[in-house]
Amino acid sequence: MHKGRLEAFTDGVFAIIITIMVLELRAPVGADFSALRPLLPVFLSYVLSFVYVAIYWNNHHHMFQVTPHISGGILWANLHLLFWLSLFPFVTDWAGKNHFATWPTVLYGCILFMASVAYWILQNVIIKHHGEGSLLKKAVGRDAKGKMSMVVYGIAIASAFIHVVIAQALYCAIALLWLMPDRRIERVQAPSHAKPN
Amino acid sequence: MHKGRLEAFTDGVFAIIITIMVLELRAPVGADFSALRPLLPVFLSYVLSFVYVAIYWNNHHHMFQVTPHISGGILWANLHLLFWLSLFPFVTDWAGKNHFATWPTVLYGCILFMASVAYWILQNVIIKHHGEGSLLKKAVGRDAKGKMSMVVYGIAIASAFIHVVIAQALYCAIALLWLMPDRRIERVQAPSHAKPN
Amino acid sequence: MHKGRLEAFTDGVFAIIITIMVLELRAPVGADFSALRPLLPVFLSYVLSFVYVAIYWNNHHHMFQVTPHISGGILWANLHLLFWLSLFPFVTDWAGKNHFATWPTVLYGCILFMASVAYWILQNVIIKHHGEGSLLKKAVGRDAKGKMSMVVYGIAIASAFIHVVIAQALYCAIALLWLMPDRRIERVQAPSHAKPN
Amino acid sequence: MHKGRLEAFTDGVFAIIITIMVLELRAPVGADFSALRPLLPVFLSYVLSFVYVAIYWNNHHHMFQVTPHISGGILWANLHLLFWLSLFPFVTDWAGKNHFATWPTVLYGCILFMASVAYWILQNVIIKHHGEGSLLKKAVGRDAKGKMSMVVYGIAIASAFIHVVIAQALYCAIALLWLMPDRRIERVQAPSHAKPN
């Protein structure tokens, strides 16, 4: 099966998700500087979601570089990931408009959690299709980073009922964790010193 | 003629259709959990339409893998399919906002039916262009699955006037039928045991 | 310069233009069949614009198949065409919502006219870059069809002040003219019987 | 790393940004010619933003033609540029709806400035990754044009507090400056007379 078209379609969906989120940032009614102030939480939730979608695109890009073959299962696991990512504009808008109130913060976390689960499923479907000796398996190893993210999303969701700032801080922390250069896939691609971790 | 550009343009349209549907899922006014409840039918209609667009993209992808040449007729049959798919966001929104009332359910079924007719036309234009001995002809055979879907859409539309739940159940059933792994095209691509069915 | 990326970007813009027009087709408030009736002119203007954008994509596709090289001038002539095409969603919406009243009909025609002028400029910039002996020059010849379209748009715009139905009929007639199979480019691509017309 | 996918994703984002800006150009309520008049500033701000996004796409296209390798840093510098460009629809709408009042004009200039800074960062990340002897370094030299643009944006932002027309004129002037054919990259690509400037 043809990898190029899956990547092209996925890139299209990523490009649209990352861009239509900005449509929720509507021009304020007044022309004063103060008219921008109510937009600040909407803008901040846009920035956070932009970074998350960018991280997913980046990781997806890397993962498919070490994915030589595509199966029907991979296609559907990929569409499943895109489904959860497609809900980002909705939760971004709800969270932004309500200044990250409790329930919007919880739902935002749930979508982050479901997207990370969907990514983990996709990763496992690809590894299963290519075998335990595959480059992707070597690169992700036991995938401590991915598993930890899922656990932290769970903690963040629970902590939103105590104080939303804890949840927000955890969402930002995980984004920063993934922004740090991740050499796992570059390492296995370099022919001489590829080894499982 | 160049297959790549038709695929790229089609992928773009598919990516936009599947993503803009989520724009109808507008952030509710309140920040309570209960504010989400009225969105449930809109969300469910979004899920169903997402699955349908994903199935069409999947099948389109497979069909064009066994389509070596493109003609003017294929280009237009493809655009005709995209036209009906482009109406998905509209009917999804109407059906979702009216809790799948009778007429929105009927119109939803009509668009599903027209899209399946357009897909069937595209398939036949491709087969006609490549001859009866083509790989696609071998793969689809008499296309019992495609024809059955069209008949069931017709039954579903009629049954919506009795009770909309019957129609909804049938729409979901056909989606599940197409979600089942379909090996028709993979089978003819495997060189040794390709045979018409 | 790299033709692939110009085509990919152009396909993206075409795909978005053709798809976002459907966003103007908003779900009506009621759930009755009669609630759809006011949408009919909006739907018809959507169909006409869909066909026009499809024709432009089709012709663009053909034109770039016989365009081996890209220059800075071609890039900007292409962006100029995309600018006028990007106004289609706006005029489609205005014309549809006002049942093709006089001024919306006039503006719709002006955008059709400007898009055809932009296409003609793009074609000439490509021919100038590749020389009079180029395949594209052989294919379009004196481009009677393109020039006639521009003249008919002018007549249609003027006739809208007499009766909008004349203008609408002319817009549909030109769309049908371009929907007819156009073998000009296929002919010059066939190696043995390519000759200028 | 794979350049094609970065370009495809970037082209998708560019295509969406340039197209969704037109969604702010909403069909007026009346059907008279006079109903279009209030749209004029929105239309003019759309034209200016369209030209700017087109210039960025054009320059991006040229820059990546002399960029053989992609690194993680380049990916993120590119996403950073896309972030600022994604705010164009928002500032275009705000500036257009307020007839380029002081603060919308200032914010418009700030986004132009940040986009030019992001472009400059991307350019430097690419040069750093490929070394001082790289084709891109040869092409941009000391990048007087890029640096001057940043300075002029700063002057324009300050002058908006004196009179917005000065700022608008400067925004248009820089757009025209970049519309002028820029042979820097073509020159270094021509094998025989490539020399650093």
- Residue of chain B nearest C39, judged by CA positions: B90
Q: In this predicted structure, what is the pLDDT of residue D194?
A: 37
* A168-185: b (≥16 Cβ within 10 Å) or e: bebbeebbeebeeebebb
Q: What is the nearest CA distance from B161 to chain A, expressed in angstroms?
A: 32
Residue A35: in which H helix or E strand, if any?
none
Q: Which residues contact residue A193 at a Cβ distance below 8 angstroms, ignoring those fewer than 6 apart?
A: A187
Band of residue B68 on the pLDDT scale cut at 50, 70, 90:
confident
With contact defined as 3+ CB pairs under 8 Å, the chains touching D are A, B, C
Mean pLDDT of A69-75: 89
B50: nearest Cα among B29, B25, B74? B25
Mean pLDDT of C109-130: 95
Instruction: Tell me the pLDDT tens digit for each residue of A162-197.
Output: 999 999 999 999 999 998 876 677 677 654 333 333
Q: What is the mean pLDDT of chain B?
A: 89
Q: Is C154 helix (H, G, I), strand (E, B) or coil?
A: helix
Residues of A in contact with B7 (CB under 8 A): 5, 8
Mutate which of B13, B14, B16, B18 to disrupt the A interface (most A C-beta within 10 Å)? B18
Q: In this predicted structure, what is the pLDDT of residue A192?
A: 39
Residues of C in contact with A15 (CB under 8 A): 12
Q: In this predicted structure, what is the pLDDT of residue A62?
A: 87
Contact state of D89 with A54 under an 8 Å Cβ cutoff: no
For residue A144, the tally of other CB atoms under 10 A from its CB is 10
Q: What is the nearest CA distance from B12 to chain D, expressed in angstroms?
A: 8
What residues of A are in the C interface, CB distance below 8 Å? 12, 15
Mutate which of A18, A24, A93 to disrupt the D interface (most D C-beta within 10 Å)? A18
A13: nearest Cα among A87, A65, A108? A87
User: C160 vs A196, which has greater pLDDT?
Assistant: C160
Distance (Å, rounded) from C-alpha A163 to C-alpha A101? Answer: 9
Residues of C in contact with A12 (CB under 8 A): 12, 15
Which residue is associated with the tokens 């908003």? C26
Q: What is the mean pLDDT of chain A?
A: 89
ipTM, two decimals, is: 0.88
